[in-house]
A and B are shown apart, each in its own frame.
Chain A
Amino acid sequence: MDGKERRRKTDVQMLDGNQAGAIGAKLSRVQVIAAYPITPQTPVTEKLSEFVEKGELNAEYIAVEGEHSALAVCASASMVGARTFTASSAHGLAYMHEMLHWTAGARLPVVLACVNRAIGAPWNVLNDQQDSISQRDTGWIQIYARNNQEILDSIIQAYKIAEMVYVPVMVCYDGYVLSHTEMPVDVPSQGSVDKFLPPYKPHTILDPSSPRNYNLVTLANPRANTQGILCHGYMELRFLLQEALQNSRETIVSVGQEFGEMFGRGYDNTYWDFRLDDADIVIVAMGSLAMEAMVASKQLREKGHKVGVLGLRVFRPFPKSDLVRALRKSRVVVVFDKDISYGSEGAVCSEIKAALYGIDTTAMIRNYIVGLGGRDVKARDLVDAVEKAVMLLGQGALNVEYPEWICQI
């Protein structure tokens, strides 16, 4: 192999998460970008507008007055056949809420980078995952990245997944922890991404010679169209969206496998497994927290605990059967959530409890709320929490009603 080829094979750059996200979108040859700047997502929009302005990316960058419009532009452009990208955080994502539902309901394969940030009041620009978790019921696929390489890789995969199942994909990554932290990222060549990602084929065809109506008032019951064919009512369309998400797990995994074969970094599961094989204690965490949990698990192993880490990558569709297989033999499952469903518990914990219902397991499940509004989560905190859970198990305490918080109250 000559030097030129070797350079082409690996192009490792020091990139922060936002640069990785922007490059992921550029390599996916997005055609329409509409986004409104918000901390900590702003550099994504800046980088992309720079690519467009320099002529490095052949795309329309549409300036809008807010996030609701940003997604409305992307949904409309996607409908007429353009590959579209947007990005947001916290209050911006909340402002998009209506259009998030609309985009999924219209089955438009928009990809959105959510740079996870806390939501006010009070004002806070730092990281937690309350923003994207609050949008979990909008019908979007949600993928969480642990590091900057995964941000870039996941955005490229997200287009392939979204355009196969016609469901929009949100790629979520932790604000500052990833968005503003540089790491080495292997940037694939444009040629290899082009081979991986075929052009977008819309299911919505807007053609003046054969006009169509899309997403008009659709009443409760199905009815025959002008050709006499019985068409979906509102509820049938909602069923199809649910069915698409239920079935999308297979697509997510097969696209991840194919990505691995092409680029040498496999994404052939819905979660990251770190020493789960012999573990009877499992730490569950999502996003960059899963990396911290790996450090904690090493420390716990040194203390004689058989600890593994399950880093959840796909939150929607929630990979129930994958997690049942991974967790059913555990003695203790400790779930760390960077979000809280007020009055209940962390969203990841709820999902895991629901997945394990009716399964022959005696696992104790403990939930800790951590890292809200950028509160630093140290590996030591995770170690203490896991040891406390193990101690409580020794005392016969099983599941508790509400989560514990790692804070100083």
Chain B
Amino acid sequence: MGTRECRHICDESSPGIGEAGRTGEWRNAFPVINQEKCVVTKRNKLTCFLCWLYCPDAVVRKEIPVSIDLEYCKGCGICAQVCPAQAITMVNEGESCLEGTGGI
């Protein structure tokens, strides 16, 4: 089955999640949130969210606890840079998560 079935004559798509493909595959390092340090999780309040605000790919979920959609996170590390509590650590792909970070 070829691509003619899409019936486009130039590049065309509808905006949607995953429109540009599984861009998480581009990543070299992934963010790991230490929920014990995260201000939002600790206070159980919709506060801070600088990671959500600065994420250029809108993959940080504005929820308690904060989580990141690794399907599309490209591993830029901006969230780790802007976190005032230093709750986010970038871990190289292929390396195991550091113990005690509380997962993602």
Does the CB pair A226–B10 fall under 8 Å?
Answer: no
State whether the Cβ of A198 lies closer than 8 Å to any Cβ in chain B: no
Interface size for chain B: under 10, 10 to 19, 20 to 34, or 35 or more residues? 10 to 19
Contact of B11 (CB < 8 Å), options: A210, A211, A215, A227: A215
When distances are taken between beta carbons in the complex, the residues of chain A under 8 Å from B18 are 226
User: B6's closest neighbor in chain A, by CB?
Assistant: A231
Q: B43 interface residue, CB < 8 Å from A? A: no
Known: A231-B3, A231-B6, A232-B3. A219 touches B21 (CB 8 A): yes
A167 to B, closest residue via Cβ: B9
Residues in A with CB closer than 8 Å to B1 are: 230
A-chain residues with CB within 8 Å of residue B5 when the two chains form the complex: 229-230
Q: B1-33 toward A: CB 8 Å interface, digit per residue (1/0)?
A: 111011011111111111111000000000000
Contact among B2, B13, B17, B21 with A213 in the assembled complex (CB-CB below 8 Å): B13
Provide the residues of chain A in CB contact with B19, threshold 8 Å: 213, 225-226
Q: Indicate whether A214 reaches chain B with its CB closer than 8 angstroms.
A: yes
Distance in angstroms between the alpha carbons of A218 and B12 in the assembled complex: 10
Interface residues on A, range: 20 to 34
- Tell which of A106, A204, A213 touches B14, judged by Cβ atoms closer than 8 Å: A213
**B residues within 8 A CB of A218?**
11
Residue of B nearest to A105 (CB): B10
Establish whether residues B3 and A226, one from each chain, have CB atoms under 8 Å apart when the complex forms: no
> For the complex, what is the distance from the CA of A317 to the CA of B13, rounded to whole Å?
29
Q: A203-B9, A226-B17, A226-B19 are in contact. List 18 more A-B contacts (CB 8 A).
A: A106-B10, A204-B10, A211-B15, A212-B15, A213-B14, A216-B13, A216-B20, A217-B20, A218-B11, A219-B21, A225-B16, A226-B16, A226-B18, A230-B2, A230-B6, A231-B8, A232-B3, A232-B11
Nearest 3 pairs between A and B by C-beta? A226-B16, A231-B6, A232-B3
